[in-house]
Every structure is written in structure tokens, then in C-alpha cells.
Amino acid sequence: MDSDDICRKDRLAQQLLFMEANPDLGVAGSYVEAFGTKRQLAAFPTNHDDLKVSLLSYNPIAHSSVIFRADLFSQFKLRYREAYKYCEDYDLWACAARCFRIANIPLPLVRYRRHDAQASNRYHGVQEMHARRIQMEQMHWLCDGLSPREQEMYEVILDGNQQRYNEPSKKGVSSFVQRILTTNQTRKEIGALKQKILTKNQTKHAYSHTLLSEALDAPRHGPPIVPLPVLD
């Protein structure tokens, strides 16, 4: 936690009870209330299957809200990797989710202050670059590798740009024909990559088939955000 973030008074008690009631969990975060210029509730996914699929496209676990079992992190040799500066926690949760179950408690146990000087604002470009590396690494692991062209197609899937391949061109006839040919080929490649991902998942049983299929069609880019009334 940063020095100006705030814990609920019963945070640790709530989390200890939750971990004791769920001995199969290695990590538990929670909802987070953001405050500063405005108040919002980040209602992150709560169960392991939802969280694991969400990790493919964003970080659904707030670092400041986490409690974890140190013995499991030691057993699986999980630690921060400096190569993912400003995204070390995202990388850590992605690796952890392949080793044991994770969860979020559906309560705002932490209040997170937003301000212009925080790392997510100052180092946004570096964060985005490393986040994309983490996302690609997860898919490389699931598929036992991706070709350079498959990586390009997965970028399209992650960015949610598949729809643009269904939009008609407004240019001349020749460019329209070329675009149709390119668009049809790209759609086929995206479809083939999705099928490869789903087939590999059936072998590895890494993700919920239904949730993974839904995420490939409409990647998750963040938790539901609930506006909260401003406190006086």
C-alpha cells in the first residue's frame, strides 16, 4: 500500500477468515474503492476461473488489497521479476494462477487514492508495454508458442479490433477489392488462431472453455466500475 491509501479497520480479520475458510486459495485480494477527484468502486471478478481468464487481458487483482500464503510462493519459487518494471504484480499473479487458486473478496477492503504523481500515470507507456508482454507470455504458454503472424493476430484480438475487419471500405473500387481480400484472409487467420487456442486449452484444461471462448470474442479490459457518491 502507498502511505496515503486506507485499509478498512477489519481488513485483516476479514481476509484471515476468508483464507481459513478456503484452504485451497493461495492469493486473495478484494474490491477497491478509489478516491480523490471522484469516488469509484472497482468490482473485480471474485472466483478463480473468472480471474484467470481476466489475467489474459488485464490485471484483476489490486496489489494493495492482497493477502497470500508465503509457503506456496516459496514452494513454486514465485517472486517479482525485474524485467516487468511497474507491472511486477501483474506478472506475479499471472504466474501464481497457474500454480494454485486465487480469489477476490467482494468487499472494498482498501481505499486507493488517485493522484497525478502515481506510477500508473508517470510510467504509463512502460506499464502498457510490459503488460502486453505478460499477456503474450500467457498465450505462448497455453499454445506452446505462437508464430510472429499469430502474435499479430492475437494483438488484434486483445485490442478488440476484430470488428474493423467487418466494416466496408469507403475508398475506390480497387482498394475496396483489395481490402475485401485482406479482410477475408485476416478473419480466417483470427478464426484459426481462436480455434488453436481453444483446442490447446482442451488439452491443458487451463481455463474454463466457456469463459475463454467469450474472452477471445470480447476481451476484458478492466473490472466493472461503480460510481459512488462524493463524501463531504
Q: Are residues 119 and 146 in the same domain?
A: no
Q: Are residues 41 and 151 in the same domain?
A: no
Residue 1, domain member (yes or no): no
Assign 37 a pLDDT band (cuts: 50, 70, 90): confident
Residue 20 has what pLDDT?
Answer: 98
Q: Are residues 28 and 106 in the same domain?
A: yes
Q: How many domains, in total, are found in the chain?
A: 2
In this structure, what CATH number is given to the domain that contains residue 116?
Answer: 3.90.550.10
Tens-place pLDDT, residues 163-181: 544 444 444 444 554 555 5
Q: How far is CA 45 from the centre of its chain?
A: 10
Q: What percent of the chain has pLDDT over 70?
A: 84
Q: Are residues 22 and 112 in the same domain?
A: yes
In angstroms, the CA 166 to CA 197 distance is 22
Q: Are residues 156 and 94 in the same domain?
A: no
Q: Are residues 106 and 161 in the same domain?
A: no
Residue 175's contacts (CB-CB under 8 Å, 6 or more residues apart) are 169
Residue 215, domain member (yes or no): no
Residue 109 has what pLDDT?
Answer: 97
Q: Are residues 104 and 169 in the same domain?
A: no
Q: Are residues 19 and 102 in the same domain?
A: yes
Domain limits for position 155: 126-209
Q: Are residues 116 and 154 in the same domain?
A: no
H helices of the chain, in order, are: 11-21, 48-54, 70-75, 88-96, 119-122, 124-143, 148-158, 173-204, 209-217
Q: Are residues 130 and 110 in the same domain?
A: no
Residue 170 has what pLDDT?
Answer: 46
Residue 198, domain member (yes or no): yes
Residue 117 has what pLDDT?
Answer: 58
Residue 169 has what pLDDT?
Answer: 45
Residue 40, domain member (yes or no): yes
Residue 105, domain member (yes or no): yes
Average pLDDT of the residues of the chain: 88
pTM: 0.88
Residue 214, domain member (yes or no): no
Tens-place pLDDT, residues 87-104: 999 999 999 999 999 999
Q: Are residues 94 and 186 in the same domain?
A: no
* Residue listed under C-alpha cell 493522484: 115
The stretch 221-232 carries a mean pLDDT of: 85
Tens-place pLDDT, residues 116-148: 656 556 678 899 999 999 999 999 999 999 999
Tens-place pLDDT, residues 43-82: 999 999 999 999 999 999 999 999 999 999 999 999 999 9
Q: Are residues 69 and 19 in the same domain?
A: yes
